[in-house]
Amino acid sequence: MNWSGVAVLVTGAGGFIGSHLTERLVELGASVSAFVRYNSRGDWGHLKRLRPEVQRCLHVISGDLRDLAAVVEAARGINVIFHLGALIGIPYSYVHPHEVVETNVMGTLNVLLAARQSRVVRVVHTSTSEVYGTARYIPIDERHPLQGQSPYSASKIGADKLCESFSRSFDLPVVTVRPFNTYGPRQSERAVIPTIITQALTQTEVRIGSLTPKRDLTFVDDTVTGFIRAAEVPEAVGQVINLGSGCEVSVGQLLELILQIVGRPCTIVSDPERVRPVNSEVERLLADCSLAQQLLGWAPVVPLEEGLQRTVQWISTHLSDFRVGEYAI
């Protein structure tokens, strides 16, 4: 697909994956509107890290996904919407479930209503592997049962089902991409990999929660490619598509690998504050990505060790951005 001049709206553009996707779309020649959550500081989130020549190409819109009028206006004249805007902190969802549900469910409804009104040619909606809960079978394909093991995952299940309903009820051209655990530069200390890396680079001990959960990790550049392909392939419309590596690693194994890359000895300390409630912990996630391979021609290309090395390098030059050692929810 030739993206030159295509009018694109990215919600959650200031976030981790959103900023990388926004950057890639500008590089492809798209005309990008970047929707970021309003704050009085005029903070664009990670968009401020993009090269000046990329920033100059952006039309940045500040607003709130819960405001239908703001979303409708942002979608006016748009061809493709990439909907990444969400509150994603699982521990945060334990504390503020109402805000999480409002943003993730009603925000998604507003995007769908705006997309229908603007007659967009594609909506790429962002799901999460958390909607599967702890695996009932391995690998997890798109037919796996959905389990709301946290208020966050329940909110994303609701958002996913709204997308399904708009596809079936109104023929809205929606595709839902379901990334497993994406990592890389710009990810916050809310996630396990930056949490480990920042402590390993600066302290003699690493405070961590459970070491046994297993995750399927994909470098952010590969995830972004999956999003782009989901917008390009006609046959993707109406589908839910996993994006993952098809490999699993435990948090304990991940910790050991990161310590090897960093090259500093550290004591591992179990921190009860960082452990999820027993019935909420997702013990195992491993993606079956055969649909993405068949339908999108997509598969990740960055090996885990290379991706971690690139992430360690980035974090080591941006340590002042992290609250090292604090438990971020």
Please state the rounded mean pLDDT for residues 127-131: 97
Residue 302 has a CB neighbour count (10 Å cut-off) of 17
Can you give the pLDDT at residue 255?
94
Can you give the pLDDT at residue 10?
98
Please state the rounded mean pLDDT for residues 67-74: 98
174-223 pLDDT, tens digit per residue, is 999 999 999 999 999 889 999 999 999 999 999 988 899 999 999 999 99
Q: Is the dihedral of CA 150, 328, 320, 304 positive or negative?
A: negative
Q: At residue 215, what are phi and psi to the nearest 5 degrees?
A: -130, 155
Can you give the pLDDT at residue 200?
94
Is the model more confident about 329 or about 174?
A: 174
Quote the Cα angle for 244-311-53, to 5°: 100
Establish whether 152 is a catalytic residue.
yes
Residue pair 164/108 in contact by the 8 Å Cβ criterion: no
**Side chain identity at 156, as an amino acid letter?**
K
Domain ranges (residues) in the chain: 7-180+218-243
pLDDT value at 276 more than 80:
no
**Side chain identity at 303, as an amino acid letter?**
P
pLDDT value at 327 more than 80:
no
Can you give the pLDDT at residue 93?
96
C-alpha of 306 from chain center: 20
- Residue 329's nearest CA partner among 283, 250, 269, 273 is 273
Instruction: Choose the catalytic residue: 92, 152, 183, 327.
Output: 152
d(CA 224, CA 213): 25
Can you give the pLDDT at residue 42?
84
Can you give the pLDDT at residue 278?
74
Query: How far is CA 132 from each of CA 63, 160, 263, 295, rounded to the nearest angstrom?
Result: 30, 12, 35, 21
CATH of domain 7-180+218-243: 3.40.50.720
Query: How far is CA 266 from each of CA 27, 304, 328, rounded to the nearest angstrom?
Result: 40, 21, 20
Burial class (CB within 10 angstroms; exposed 0-12, middle 13-18, buried 19+) of 1: exposed
